[in-house]
Amino acid sequence: MKQLFFILLVLVGVLACKKEPEVLPTDDNELITTVELVFTDPANVSRSFKFRDIDGDTRTKPEAFDTLKLDRNTEYKVSIHIGDESKGTYEDITEDIQEESDVHLFVYRPNPVSLLAIQITDVDKNALPIGLNAKAKTQYFPGSGLLQVMLKHQPPLNGKIVKTGEEEVGSTDLDLSFPLIVK
């Protein structure tokens, strides 16, 4: 009788333990050391602004971190180019992001928000924004602030699609705040 009671107790204990579902990683974040923002005005004049941190170490000063200098009351076409220089040569990973666009989302946040309006113009196969291309309109009055540029990595989690067009989900591959001057 004691043996039967002990076996039932062990069996109830085993059945009562719920195993947490295993979270399976599906994709790695990108190593980004170089970011180039290109603003092209209506006269087809392009301005390029770069961030370069070749060692990829956020604790050391980057080799370049340009200030965005844009004309007031102007509409620009915007493109972003992403690279990795950590291995000694430049590897363009913009195309990789484009190929995996259904798990990537660029987020642009001007501060103050009145300084610059940005609208993403490219979409992935699910008609959700990517952000490799956008259009931007500067305010009428001169001013200064920041343009935060983030790249969110939103791969499926346990087979479920995570990317919905919202920026809150996923991990962050890139988070930079470019100084911005509208003159």
* Domain membership flag for residue 9: no
* Domain membership flag for residue 15: no
* Domain membership flag for residue 158: yes
How confident is the model at residue 73, as a pLDDT? 97
Phi-psi region of 56 (alpha: psi -120 to 50; beta: other; left: phi over 0): left
Summarised one tens digit per residue, pLDDT across range 71-90 is: 999 999 999 999 999 888 89
- What CATH number should be reported for the domain holding residue 132? 2.60.40
* Domain membership flag for residue 170: yes
* Domain membership flag for residue 175: yes
Summarised one tens digit per residue, pLDDT across range 126-179 is: 999 999 999 999 999 999 999 999 999 998 888 888 888 888 888 999 999 999
* Domain membership flag for residue 2: no
Q: How many domains does the chain have?
A: 1
Question: Could you give the angle at the alpha carbon of 98 between the alpha carbons of 111 and 161, nearest 5°?
Answer: 85
74/10 Cα distance (integer angstroms): 73
* Domain membership flag for residue 1: no
Output the pTM of the full model: 0.81
Sheet holding 171-182, edge to edge: 68-70, 171-182, 143-153, 104-111
